[in-house]
Amino acid sequence: MTNQDGFETLAIHAGQEPDPVTGAVVLPIYQVSTYKQDGVGGLRGGYEYSRSANPTRTALEQCLAALEGAPRALAFASGMAAEDCLLRTVCSPGDHVLVPDDAYGGTYRLFARVFSGWGLTHDVVPISHVAAVREQLAARKITVVWAETPTNPLLGIADIRALAEAAHEAGALLVVDNTFASPYLQQPLALGADVVVHSTTKYLGGHSDVVGGALVVADPELAERLAFTQNATGGVAGPFDSWLTLRGVKTLAARMDRHCRNAMRVAQMLAEHPAVSEVLYPGLPSHPGHKTAQEQMRAFGGMVSFRLLAGEEAAVRACGRTRLFTLGESLGGVESLIEHPARMTHASVTGSPLEVPGDLIRLSVGIEDCDDLLDDLRQALSDS
Ligand SMILES: Cc1ncc(COP(=O)(O)O)c(C=O)c1O
């Protein structure tokens, strides 16, 4: 592969040369913990123990790095394991970080309930408002600015380039959780971010059959430090999980095109629906982040959130009435999912500055026939 190859080519081939021994076109699952050494310290290809490195994981890491346009990626057992490794590496007890006012509940919980005990303090900032972030950066020493864009579950948009500039002027790192967009729609490192976080469980894996995470970094020295922590703490992606994720990645571009097309139609239908008070989708011109999203994303993604006029109980009822949209947590698979964030994915942020409205419903719009999806939502909302 060369750096000139297009995204779809890299997704299928980067890190995945045919097997040199058999010619197998698909990379084997190296389901192995240890490797024969040719004399003490005589490693073949650098492999000695699968926590430190495993060929199937290496292939996934090379592929993810290529897709984000970076020299190095590291694959983890989950998105949370990736986030944990990153914070342990770039922060120290006593440091202060900025976290977004809308984010995956588990990410906020990691800051508020785990790293707070380690001595890492945080402030919550409106991440779509760069001026507010700059104010916080001017007020005290900040180690990390953490951003999600689009955010989970309110689909807010953060201006990555402007945030990177602001963070760097203040000597902070900008971390962008790129899970909702995927590297096909958005490449934060090219816009100035220092680290990209992924829950590969979502669009990268794409089939709701594997949990995983990744860190992608531009700076090789930082990558080395992260790799040290990863090996020292051990939250690595296993060989079979790496293989499943790689298989999913091959079709990322084709799937994302369809997710985006379906999501736009779903958002437009909901925007006209009498039971709906607000649709949160960055593809709608009425969305406050629409222009920024247009500038930094190829298209607007497969996630759509909306609020019901009739309130929380109506939202909970609607979530239980769909036929094709499966009621469940997670997102980014080929099948459509529906959920009630306040009682499900974001229950852990109740009472915090990240609490989400009770009348909110979040959709992960899949790649089924869109007419079927629209019919399903219309019938679920029919008496809301
Ligand atoms: C935006 C985002 N980041 C991180 C995570 C955590 O990833 P994982 O569930 O793979 O640990 C999630 C999970 O839903 C998420 O939605």
pLDDT in tens, 33-84: 999 999 998 888 899 999 999 999 999 999 999 999 999 999 999 999 999 9
In the chain, count of helices (H) and strands (E)?
Answer: 13, 12
Contact criterion met (CB below 8 Å) for 66 and 14: yes
Write the residue with the smallest CA distance to atom 8 of ligand 1.
Answer: 79
Residue 20 banded pLDDT, cuts 50, 70, 90: confident
pLDDT at site 384: 81
How confident is the model over 99-127, as pLDDT tens digits? 999 999 999 999 999 999 999 999 999 99
Query: How many angstroms is it from 145 CA to the middle of ligand 1?
Result: 18
Contact criterion met (CB below 8 Å) for 146 and 97: yes
Across the chain, the runs of DSSP E, i.e. the strands, are 72-76, 96-100, 121-125, 144-148, 173-177, 195-199, 213-217, 276-280, 303-308, 326-327, 337-339, 360-364
Residue 42: alpha-carbon gap to chain centroid: 38
Pocket of ligand 1 (CB under 6 A): 78-80, 104, 106-107, 148, 152, 177, 179-180, 199, 201, 211, 213
Q: In terms of pTM, does the model score above 0.95?
A: yes
How confident is the model over 300-357, as pLDDT tens digits? 999 999 999 999 999 999 999 999 999 999 999 999 999 999 999 999 999 999 999 9
- Counting ligand 1 atoms within 8 A of each CB, the residue from 179, 204, 210 with the most, and so the one to mutate, is 179
Residue 1 banded pLDDT, cuts 50, 70, 90: low
Query: How many angstroms is it from 81 CA to the middle of ligand 1?
Result: 10
* Alpha carbon distance 227, 58 (integer Å): 12
